[in-house]
Amino acid sequence: MRITIVASLVVLTAICLAAEAGPVKPVGGACRNSCRPHEVFVPAGVYNPFFKTGSETRPVTVEPICLSASPITQEEFLKFVRAHPSWRKSRIKALFAEDSYLEDWRDDLTPQSDELSQPVTFVSWFAAGAYCEARGGRLPTVAEWERIAGGGAPANTRDASAGAAHRGATPFAFAMGTSAPELASTGIRFPGVWEWTANFNSALVSGRIGTNEGADTSQFCGDGVRAVDPSDYGAFLRYSFRSSLRANFALKNLGFRCAREIS
């Protein structure tokens, strides 16, 4: 059985590679084609974690996925809660979302009418995961998300942040995702919300990053974690933010997008 699966994977990978390299357009290949209209195809790749443990970094290989091109919108989420009443704000259980769940919606089925195409926020990790599952997917992992969106912090983040605030744009937008160069032409968008990840609760960040002292030794087991590149302010913000979340939090600036594994 296992051999069959492995063999299939090898064949699939071969097809993908052949398709990627192939001259035939606009077909783009079997793998790319398996993504839906609002998704982008993300080829396999390697993610270099923000943290190192001990003395070395451990690159993580990520498999190809189809990823929502933009965070899930209010309108898309509305369709979901229509079809799945247990996720409406009047019915949601406290375990799965805190009181602020869909706080900006007037009632169960009424988002702000002028924001239908905006990312849905005030959604918990559970609600985000349930949405993706209903669409045949899941939340992207930290490695998948960071590998796609984690690059591109401006050289001088302080100026960038101040500039954004001045112009009325979302402060820290630079930390909320910047397309990897290889995906820049795919139409993938990061409109300035934080995003849930499947394993948001993996980072052990408390206090400062950059030294071993950051890890609270009374609460955490394992070698202290240190940033590979302490000057990566965007990554610092994201990892701090994620580690401060609980699964039932529903926050104003926190949305999500979905990943689908390519079968």
Partner 1 sequence: MNGTLKGIAFPLLAAVALTTQVTSSPRERSIYQLDSSWVEDNGHALRLRALEGKMQLLALIYTTCTGSCPVTVKAMQMYSRTMPDDIKGRVRFVLVTVDPKQDTLPVLREYRREMNLEKRWKLLRGSPEDVRELAAVLGFNYEQIESGQFAHSNLVTVLDRHGEIVHQQKNFAGDNTDVTEAIRQHNN
Interacting stretch for partner 1, rule CB under 8 A, among 20-28, 29-37, 65-73, 200-208?
200-208
Cβ neighbors of 243 (< 8 A, separation 6 or more) are 201, 203, 204, 205, 206
Strands (E), 30-70: 39-42, 45-47, 51-53, 60-62, 65-68
Q: To the nearest whole angstrom, how small is the minimum distance from the Cβ of residue 27 to partner 1? A: 34
Contact 230, 209 (CB under 8 A): yes
Q: To the nearest whole angstrom, how small is the minimum distance from the Cβ of residue 157 to partner 1? A: 14
Q: Rank residues 13 and 201 by Cβ distance to partner 1 and give the closer one.
A: 201
Is 130 among the residues that bind partner 1 (CB under 8 A)?
no
Please tell me the distance from the alpha carbon of residue 60 to that of residue 66, in angstroms, as a whole number.
18
Contact 87, 72 (CB under 8 A): no
Is 190 among the residues that bind partner 1 (CB under 8 A)?
no
Interacting stretch for partner 1, rule CB under 8 A, among 40-48, 151-159, 193-201, 227-235?
193-201
Q: To the nearest whole angstrom, how small is the minimum distance from the Cβ of residue 144 to partner 1? A: 14
Is 199 among the residues that bind partner 1 (CB under 8 A)?
yes
Among 200, 233, 239, 256, binds partner 1 (CB under 8 A): 200
Radius of gyration of the chain (CA): 20
Enumerate residues 135-174 that contact partner 1 by CB under 8 A. 165, 170-172
Enumerate residues 50-109 that contact partner 1 by CB under 8 A. 53-54, 58, 93-96
The 3-class secondary structure across 1-55, one letter per residue, is CHHHHHHHHHHHHHHHHHHHHCCCCCCCCHHHHCCCCCEEEECCEEECCCEEECC
Binding residues vs partner 1 (CB under 8 A): 53-54, 58, 93-96, 125, 165, 170-172, 194, 198-204, 218-223, 225, 237, 240-241, 243-247, 249, 251-254
